[in-house]
Amino acid sequence: MKTLTLHMGLPKTGTTTLQKSVFPNWEGYLGGQSLDVQTDTVRHALDLYLVSAGKGPESHRNVSNRHWRKSAENFLGSIASQSCDQLFLSAELFSSWIVPTPGWGNWEWPLEEPKREFKPRIGPHPFVAFAEALSSVSHEFKLKVVITLRRQDQFLLSLYTHLFGLWGRSINQRDFHRRVLRLLDSGDQYLLWDSLIRSLHEVLGRDAVLVCIFEDGVEAVASNIHSFLFDRTTLFSGLPSLNSRTREGYKMAPRGSVAEAVWKLGRSVWPKDVASRLRLNLGALLGHPEQRLLSIGMQERDRRGARRFIPKPATIRAISDYCAESNQNLGLLINRPTWTAF
């Protein structure tokens, strides 16, 4: 029986580095989420997840819909002809908690301002029902899952900088503290990693779930994933050398004002809400200029955020207290120490 492994992030745990510099060198890789490496296979898998989890509070029932099951069977059939027995794809959107809407669902990450009435993420992660349903129709495949976790305060800080630090938007202690307290006071369960891992163990089995820890380092994470996917006697060749002065091969912007001007020009040429598939195909022919522009802005944002923003100690303590019991339970589930009080 073949194996299909879904690498679900988390975001800000080296996922993009793995997708662009490591996974393409491994046999059986079906593609990643980044626009310039995204394949139809990945888009199909993400569509299945979105539909399964995005149609109301009883969204887990959508996976029993015959149209969804037929689409899932078509997806699995499209990859069944691959010669490799160990297939895998990577998309951090699998770790997002989809907020149901009348027709579809919205990807929403912690700390984002809700597009509608704020509803905390409570209950099983929608990916669990998706994984269970996909496993039930994948008669030719054994489904496995890989997830990389990160200490919650550092995860939120990095995610906050990523979401809100682009092009000079104000990121500061007060705003970060406000968003964190709103998240914690609501009882939101996204940061309680033990609940997700326990549910995946129940649905897929312990041997089908690999939990990596970001603080071990990207190379250690890549090595663990390699051992999980392939025979442990197969040696991991290590990470390729990366130029520290570039991000994903593109030069850094010299100044924030220049990066902002380039970004605005790029958005006017490549609107995201118009003919997205045509935009991607044309971008591929032109060498993905929109990715080059975006990369310039991302580098400038990361430099600005790292230089100017330090969270309040009270914010870190609040996150630590909220996640302490969950982290202790997580350590028991994966048989290794996790994060103590931050």
Q: Which is it for strands 250-251 and 246-247: parallel, antiparallel or unpaired?
A: antiparallel
Calpha distance 31→19 (Å, rounded): 8
- List Cβ neighbours of 166 (8 Å cut-off, separation of 6 or more): 263, 297, 298, 301
Q: What is the mean pLDDT of residues 118-126?
A: 82
* Phi-psi label, residue 97: left if phi above 0, alpha if psi -120 to 50, beta otherwise: beta
DSSP notation for 184-202: HHTT--TT-HHHHHHHHHH
256 or 319, greater pLDDT? 319
* Cβ-proximal residues to 216 (8 Å cutoff; 6+ apart), any chain: 224
Residue 142, amino acid: K
Place of tokens 């039930």: 136
Read off the tokens for 261: 């001007």
- Choose among 209, 171, 180, 216: nearest CA to 193: 209
Looking at the DSSP bridge assignments, the partners of residue 99 are: 106
pTM (global) more than 0.75: yes
pLDDT, tens only, 291-323? 666 566 555 555 554 455 788 999 999 999 999
Nearest CA to 324 among 311, 341, 303, 305?
341
Residue 35 φ then ψ, to 5°: -55, -40
What is the model's pLDDT at position 166?
63
DSSP, collapsed to helix, strand or coil, labels residue 112 as coil
Which residues, 6+ apart, have CB-to-CB distance to 37 below 8 Å?
19, 20, 24, 31
Q: What pLDDT digit, counting tens, does each position of 69-86 carry?
A: 888 888 999 898 888 899
* Better-predicted residue by pLDDT, 235 or 173: 173
Average pLDDT, integer, range 229-250: 53
